[in-house]
Each structure stands twice: as structure tokens, then as C-alpha cells.
């Protein structure tokens, strides 16, 4: 296995991401973003109302080489110049992960470059380095997407991430997608609800999961959104049964407020609990307008610096995997074996394999 070289400006790393429905190929030199090409199969899942793993896997297979070629062209590099290849090894959809991992292994073997199998969730944290530079630690990361919702304590991006709490049922994005369906909005529902939520956020007092005093002991940093989703569905059904119109702008705003209130309150509490002065957010739901506003307000009130990567870096992409790989190479860590397998439930504490 070749040892990685780190030229000035940081190592030149290619990152491959394929854990869900986005085929991402990113190229970085240290903390400098050179290319971030993403091919999404979201259109192919719309008629099913959610990601179909088999459809996603096939789409990755078809998109991988063209996306890789676009990334190399955008960065104006040749694959032979790379110092290493990083790839998402988990968590995610097994069949989807395997496509990215097999592609990365093939490249590493053919080009005789070191391979780095890395954790997708840690990638969501690392991507912030591309925009805001070194991360003060300890810090808290709030990851909110269609597949994951968790609060993380970050002591080191390459060797110290632990989970403070996570959702016990639906992810926040999943709740957005399910409620959107109830409200007759298309998949993926998050952006549609975000736009529709122009009404009164206090119109319906929807439940805030795990926010009662009794939850502080066992579920202080955990989330639960399935009760909220059911409450919205029941409320809408009752209205429709009575032959009354459903006030979309008000219901969407009330649902969104319940989600964003809980996410931001728990993020503040997590910062206070570990003495962090920095909070970073990632995942598709981090693009949400109300969540960004509420977090900005509450962070300012608590003296916390909020780090919000631009929406294109919050959703799944290859650059987040590349920059995590670059950090690992800069640390002098050993490359992964070409024998590593994908792990659909890889815990966040295993940052690299
Ligand atoms: O990170 P992501 O692209 O993929 C994974 O799930 O890993 O996140 C997609 C999720 C979907 O559930 C989508 O509805 C949600 O992020 N989302 C949003 C917004 N944009 C995307 N949710 C709320 N507001 C948004 N603006
Ligand atoms: Zn993700």
C-alpha cells in the first residue's frame, strides 16, 4: 500500500459519496474546494414518495463515471496527480454504498493511490472546514437530513466525534417529507413546506417531542418526530372530515415551528452542557429558512458562533468526503485496506476504517 504524500497547500484528495440518492464526487486540496459535482436520482424517486434503494443503486452506477469526469474537468486535474481517494463507507443504504466503495477501490488499485474509507456523518461535520476554516473544539454539530437527525460532540474531526443524542424514530427530513404528503405537497417535501409556511406558526400548537421536564433525564438530546407527524395528519383529517378547508400556510408554519423549535432548543442545550461556543449544522434540513433564522437568533442570545455551510455543501456531496479524507491524510493516519466493506449502520465514533 503506497504511503500518502502531502504537498504544500494540503493533500489533493478525491472524495466519493453514494450513501443515499446523490452521487457526489468532490476534489479538494487541503481546505480548498476544487470541484464538487453531484448527480441526484431524486427525480426517479418522486413517484414512489421516497428513496427506493434499488433505484438509487442503479442510478449511482450510471452516474459515477460521468460525475467523476466532470469533477476532474472542473478541478482541472488528472487522476494521476491525486494524493488519495476517500469514500463513504457508511452509514447509508447498503446497495448504494457498495457502488461508491467499489468505484473508489477500483480507482485506488488502478492508480496505485491510498484509499480512505470514511464516515458519512463525520463528512457532514468536516465540510464546514471548506468555508470557515479550522473548527474550535469542543463544538456541537446538529445533523438534520432525510436519513439522520443527531446532535454530536466534536473534539476532533478525525478522531473524536461522539453522539450526544439522535432521533428515536423519524429523521427531521423524513417528518417534512411525510407531512408534505399529508398536505398534498410533492416529494421531497422539505423545500415545499419551507416555501408554503408563510402563515401563523402558533396557529396549531403541535407537540414538541422529548421536550417535557420528564424527558430531560433519558432523552435530553434525543428527538422524536413521529408523534408530530401523526398529530398533523390527525388535525388535517379532522378538518377534512368536517368539510372545512385546510389552511396550508398556517399548518405548514405550525409544523415547521414545532420541528425547528425542538432542534434549536436542544442544540443550545447541548452547547451549554459541554461548554461549546461553536455550533455547526449540516444535512438537507439545514437549508431550511426558519431553522437558520431561529438558530441564528438563539445562538446570538447564548453567545454561540453559528457555522452554517452553504446549502449545496449541507446536502450530501463528495466534497465533504474529500475534505474529511484530506484531514485524515494531514494527520498522517494509515490508509484503509482495499478489503474494507460498506457498513450501513457505521457509528459516528468510527470516523475512518
Ligand atoms: O442531506 P439530504 O440531501 O439527504 C439525506 O437525507 O441524506 O437531505 C434530504 C432531506 C429531505 O428529507 C428534504 O425534504 C429535506 O432534506 N430538505 C429540507 C429542505 N431542503 C431539503 N427540509 C426542510 N427545509 C428545506 N428547505
Ligand atoms: Zn447526509
Residue 8: the pLDDT is: 54
Q: Of 148, 130, 151, whose CA–CA distance to 139 is shortest?
A: 151
pLDDT digits (tens, 9 = 90+) for 331-346: 999 999 999 999 999 9
The residue whose C-alpha atom lies closest to atom 8 belonging to ligand 1 is: 284
The average confidence (pLDDT) of the chain is 95
Q: How far apart are CA 344 and CA 53, in angstroms?
A: 12
Q: Of 296, 214, 282, 291, whose CA–CA distance to 257 is shortest?
A: 291
Find the 172 Cα to ligand 1 centroid distance in Å.
Answer: 8
Does position 6 have pLDDT exceeding 60, yes or no? Answer: no
Query: What is the number of the ligand closest to the CA of 127?
Result: 2
Q: Is there a contact between 173 and 229 (Cβ–Cβ < 8 Å)?
A: no
Find the 210 Cα to ligand 2 centroid distance in Å.
Answer: 23
pLDDT digits (tens, 9 = 90+) for 136-170: 999 999 999 988 999 999 999 999 999 999 999 99
Q: Are strands 278-282 and 139-144 parallel, antiparallel or unpaired?
A: parallel
**Could you write out the three-class secondary structure of the chain?**
CCCCCCCCCCCEEEEEECCCCEEEEEEEECCEEEEEEEEECHHHHHHHCCCCHHHHHHHHHHHHHHHHHHHHHHHCCCHHHCCEEEEEEECCCHHHHHHHHHHHHHHHHHHCCCEEEEEHHHHHHHCHHHHHCCCCCCEEEEEECCCCEEEEEEEECCCEEEEEEEECCCCHHHHHHHHHHHCCCCCCHHHHHHHHCCCCCCCCCCCCCCCCCCHHHHHCCCECCHHHHHHHHHHHHHHHHCCCCCCHHHHHHHHHHHHHHHHHHHHHHHHHHHCCCEEEEECHHHHCHHHHHHHHHHHHHHCCEEECCCHHHHCCCCHHHHHHHHHHHHCCCCCECCCCCCCCCCCCCCCEC
Query: What is the number of the ligand closest to the CA of 45?
Result: 1
Inter-axis angle of helices 172-182 and 226-241, to 10 degrees? 10
Query: What is the number of the ligand closest to the CA of 252?
Result: 1
Residue 120: the pLDDT is: 97
Residue with cell 452554517: 308
Cell of residue 306, nine digits: 453559528
The residue whose C-alpha atom lies closest to atom 13 belonging to ligand 1 is: 190
Q: How far apart are CA 344 and CA 350, in angstroms?
A: 12
Which of 142, 175, 188, 320 has most ligand 1 atoms within 8 Å of its beta carbon, as the pocket-test mutant? 188
Residue 49: the pLDDT is: 78
The arithmetic mean of pLDDT across residues 131-136, rounded, is: 94
Residue 42: the pLDDT is: 83
The residue whose C-alpha atom lies closest to atom 16 belonging to ligand 1 is: 284
Find the 305 Cα to ligand 2 centroid distance in Å.
Answer: 23
Find the 42 Cα to ligand 2 centroid distance in Å.
Answer: 14
Q: How far apart are CA 284 and CA 221, in angstroms?
A: 20
pTM beyond 0.85, yes or no:
yes
φ/ψ of residue 142, rounded to 5: -105, 110
Q: How far apart are CA 28 and CA 12, in angstroms?
A: 6
Residue 247: CB partners within 8 Å, gap ≥ 6?
199, 203
Does position 106 have pLDDT exceeding 50, yes or no? Answer: yes
Atom of ligand 1 nearest to the CA of 145: 8
Does position 43 have pLDDT exceeding 90, yes or no? Answer: no
Find the 79 Cα to ligand 1 centroid distance in Å.
Answer: 32
Q: Which residues pair with 23 in a beta bridge?
A: 39
Instruction: List the strands of the sheet with 160-166, edge to edge.
Output: 160-166, 149-156, 139-144, 278-282, 305-307
Atom of ligand 1 nearest to the CA of 189: 14
- Give the binding-site residues of ligand 1, using a 6 Å CB cut-off: 20, 145-147, 173, 176-177, 188-191, 194, 283-285, 287-288, 315-316
pLDDT digits (tens, 9 = 90+) for 251-309: 999 999 999 999 999 999 999 999 999 999 999 999 999 999 999 999 999 999 999 99
Atom of ligand 1 nearest to the CA of 51: 6
Atom of ligand 1 nearest to the CA of 146: 6
Q: Are strands 278-282 and 305-307 parallel, antiparallel or unpaired?
A: parallel
Find the 4 Cα to ligand 1 centroid distance in Å.
Answer: 35
Find the 187 Cα to ligand 1 centroid distance in Å.
Answer: 10
Q: Of 313, 309, 315, 235, whose CA–CA distance to 279 is shortest?
A: 309
Q: Are strands 149-156 and 84-90 parallel, antiparallel or unpaired?
A: unpaired
Q: 71-75, 220-224, 313-317: which range is least confident on average? A: 313-317
CA neighbours within 13 Å on the CB side: how many for 258?
29
pLDDT > 90 in the chain, percent: 89
pLDDT digits (tens, 9 = 90+) for 235-262: 999 999 999 999 999 999 999 999 999 9
Amino acid at each position: 500500500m503506497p504511503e500518502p504524500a502531502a504537498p504544500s497547500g494540503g493533500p489533493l484528495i478525491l472524495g466519493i459519496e453514494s450513501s443515499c440518492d446523490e452521487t457526489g464526487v468532490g476534489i479538494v486540496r487541503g481546505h480548498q474546494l476544487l470541484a464538487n459535482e453531484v448527480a441526484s436520482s431524486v427525480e426517479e424517486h418522486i413517484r414512489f414518495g421516497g428513496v427506493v434503494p434499488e433505484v438509487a443503486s442503479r442510478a449511482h452506477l450510471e452516474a459515477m463515471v460521468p460525475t467523476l469526469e466532470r469533477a476532474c474537468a472542473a478541478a482541472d486535474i488528472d487522476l494521476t496527480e491525486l494524493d488519495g481517494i476517500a469514500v463513504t463507507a457508511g452509514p447509508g443504504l447498503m446497495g448504494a454504498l457498495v457502488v461508491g466503495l467499489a468505484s473508489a477501490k477500483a480507482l485506488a488499485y488502478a492508480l496505485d493511490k491510498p484509499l480512505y474509507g470514511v464516515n458519512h456523518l463525520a463528512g457532514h461535520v468536516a465540510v464546514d472546514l471548506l468555508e470557515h476554516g479550522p473548527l474550535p473544539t469542543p463544538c456541537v454539530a446538529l445533523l438534520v437530513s432525510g436519513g439522520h437527525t443527531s446532535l454530536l460532540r466534536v473534539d476532533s474531526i478525525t478522531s473524536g466525534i461522539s453522539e450526544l443524542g439522535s432521533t428515536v424514530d423519524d429523521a427531521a427530513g423524513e417528518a417534512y417529507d411525510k407531512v408534505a404528503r399529508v398536505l398534498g405537497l410533492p416529494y421531497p417535501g422539505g423545500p415545499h413546506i419551507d416555501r408554503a409556511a408563510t402563515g401563523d406558526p402558533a396557529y396549531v400548537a403541535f407537540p414538541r417531542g422529548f421536550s417535557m421536564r420528564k424527558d430531560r433525564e433519558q432523552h435530553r438530546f434525543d428527538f422524536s418526530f413521529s408523534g408530530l407527524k401523526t398529530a398533523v395528519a390527525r388535525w388535517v383529517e379532522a378538518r377534512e372530515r368536517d368539510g372545512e378547508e385546510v389552511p396550508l400556510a398556517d399548518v405548514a408554519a405550525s409544523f415547521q415551528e414545532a420541528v425547528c423549535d425542538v432542534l434549536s432548543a436542544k442544540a443550545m442545550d447541548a452547547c451549554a452542557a459541554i461548554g461549546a461556543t461553536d455550533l455547526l449544522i449540516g444535512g438537507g434540513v439545514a437549508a431550511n429558512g426558519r431553522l437558520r433564522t431561529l438558530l441564528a437568533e438563539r445562538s446570538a442570545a447564548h453567545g454561540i458562533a453559528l457555522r452554517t455551510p452553504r446549502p449545496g455543501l449541507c446536502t450530501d456531496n463528495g466534497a465533504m468526503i474529500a475534505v474529511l479524507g484530506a484531514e485524515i491524510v494531514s494527520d498522517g493516519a494509515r490508509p484503509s485496506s482495499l478489503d474494507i466493506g460498506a457498513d450501513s449502520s457505521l457509528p459516528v465514533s468510527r470516523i475512518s476504517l
